[in-house]
A and B are shown apart, each in its own frame.
Chain A
């Protein structure tokens, strides 16, 4: 039954050709809205009364010392971790706290992990194929086949990420930087409304970093991008608006210059470095 249905559906809709038309309601402003979110691990408040709004089409950088709660925040948005309290909304319609990871992913939130995670046993091409927007239920996946436009879209992303030469090689043999690129490519295949990018330039060379910056700024406007990054130079090169996290809540928000001159931010960073030294 569903097999025939999905066959019929497949003929009618070429998912990847349709411009990203997610049901997200952004008429009233923000695409991501977090209010008073708190998470506790064994008594330790990883996230403490966090309030954060990201506008549609915005490119936002999030910085903060280690343990500030950056990764945990991403875990909450993508449904991996459930907060003890607070609200997390995607647009005005979707309460993310009631959804699981695949649902959130299907809704249009893509995530790149801190440690690049690609499917090492699969080829670069196959990695992108799996990431591509499609009917991701079991039986449709079993009978799914690639057609012309889908291939072209994958080829396009391969070009964009500079991995065209390596398309048939298993992803496991890629260098660290190449894996980062592949993962960004997989994000692009998903055509998400909101990209969460955790430390995209770690382990990249100067040139690779530049290309990443180009790519991310190019995406902004069409898609919303949230970047968590340690590399201040990189943040400065792409950021319009920066949020500083500290001990699980927002310490400061504004342009890079504003943030850098904020005395509280300076204290946090200097204090940290003194302790570390």
Chain B
């Protein structure tokens, strides 16, 4: 089966192993080791790790399209944000009459804008299954429409990058408007509970962290299965010689669309995991700066490896946490510097460095994307 194929790959076994070990370790250090002990991991840190994991999932989604399809999307933050908004809408409806204005149905900001009733697109979000489904379907649908138009007319390369950026920019402007019904510039916040669990309790935070880890692992396996299949090889072929792939009889635009939509859904999932952990979603997630930052995570970690994206996301965000705490002014210098240094000196990223050392030791060809797989 193509889905189980990844379990035969060494790099995947290693990745899943490390991920599981890390999740177990954090859980143990949080639950078993008593507070006050130097090794204890407090709830704040668990929450932070959970956030990193959802970012890592987002980076995997971007690497799928950029690394394997050659599409540099500067708008993946939009899918992330839409997934986040879908989750936020569900969480908003869960507040019920506990809001400031105490309206049993309308969220606070709608009461504030003196709206009479819920707009149609808010219907159904009181049900968890519907909200969670929308987390995948809403970004997927946007990607489907946008990708269909773009790939059909063969918009590629920098043009595609620019219009994905324009897409997320337009969405950001739109979501800033109060009339849109998504809370305007304040976004959605003041969430209380998810599936009945109090969002502010430590147990829920640990649960969300573990859920992020599981989602990351599962998504990673799915992506590996895709890139390891013949479809993955068609993607790499498209990336390197689109016209040639077409002459072989592949409808390139449909392959691009398929992978693009899968990637958008994963990004949406990442957003949905992110929102309950940070407690807010607002239009700034749509900002072009954020989308392009995601690309940096992938570039730093190393494109077309998937695990590189995870490494990059965690490294950059850890650095961001440290920097913004110690010297906030320097963060943009560091970020800008990373963009330049990585692209100029480290085109294959950290994963490339690792693979190089690995290769030297074993003196064997590394796992290049889409290597022939023996059954």
Interface of chain B: mostly helix, strand, loop or mixed? helix
Query: Beyond A120-B240, A144-B229, A168-B372, is A105–B254 a contact (Cβ under 8 Å)?
Result: no
| Size of interface on B: residues with Cβ below 8 Å to A | 32
- The answer to whether B370 touches A122, judged by C-beta atoms less than 8 angstroms apart, is yes
Complex: A263 Cα to B96 Cα, angstroms: 92
B243 at the interface (CB under 8 A from A): yes
B339 at the interface (CB under 8 A from A): no
- The answer to whether A141 touches B236, judged by C-beta atoms less than 8 angstroms apart, is no
Q: What does the 1/0 interface line of B238-269 toward A look like (CB < 8 Å)? A: 01110111111111101100100000000000
A169: B residues at CB distance < 8 A: 365
The number of inter-chain residue pairs (CB within 8 angstroms) is 100
Complex: A129 Cα to B368 Cα, angstroms: 17
Within 8 A of A (CB), among B216-251: 226, 229-231, 233-234, 236-237, 239-241, 243-251
Query: Beyond A130-B234, A141-B231, A142-B230, is A121–B240 a contact (Cβ under 8 Å)?
Result: yes
- The answer to whether B254 touches A138, judged by C-beta atoms less than 8 angstroms apart, is yes
Interface residues on A, range: 35 or more
* CB of B293, distance to nearest CB on chain A (Å): 27
Within 8 A of B (CB), among A41-68: none
- The answer to whether B255 touches A141, judged by C-beta atoms less than 8 angstroms apart, is yes
**A106-114, A225-233, A236-244 - interface stretch:** A106-114
* CB of B5, distance to nearest CB on chain A (Å): 9
- The answer to whether B236 touches A121, judged by C-beta atoms less than 8 angstroms apart, is yes
- The answer to whether A129 touches B231, judged by C-beta atoms less than 8 angstroms apart, is no
- The answer to whether A141 touches B243, judged by C-beta atoms less than 8 angstroms apart, is no
A186 at the interface (CB under 8 A from B): yes
B2 at the interface (CB under 8 A from A): yes
B234: A residues at CB distance < 8 A: 130, 141
Complex: A77 Cα to B234 Cα, angstroms: 24
Residues on A lying within 8 angstroms of B by beta carbon are 78, 80, 101-102, 105-106, 110-111, 113, 117-123, 125-126, 129-131, 136-138, 141-146, 167-170, 186, 190
Residues on B lying within 8 angstroms of A by beta carbon are 2, 226, 229-231, 233-234, 236-237, 239-241, 243-252, 254-255, 258, 365, 368-372, 375
Cross-chain pairs A/B with CB under 8 angstroms, 29 sampled = A102-B249, A102-B250, A105-B246, A105-B248, A110-B247, A111-B247, A113-B244, A117-B243, A118-B241, A119-B244, A121-B236, A121-B239, A121-B240, A123-B372, A126-B233, A129-B230, A130-B230, A130-B237, A130-B248, A131-B248, A137-B254, A141-B231, A141-B234, A141-B255, A144-B231, A145-B2, A145-B230, A146-B375, A186-B248
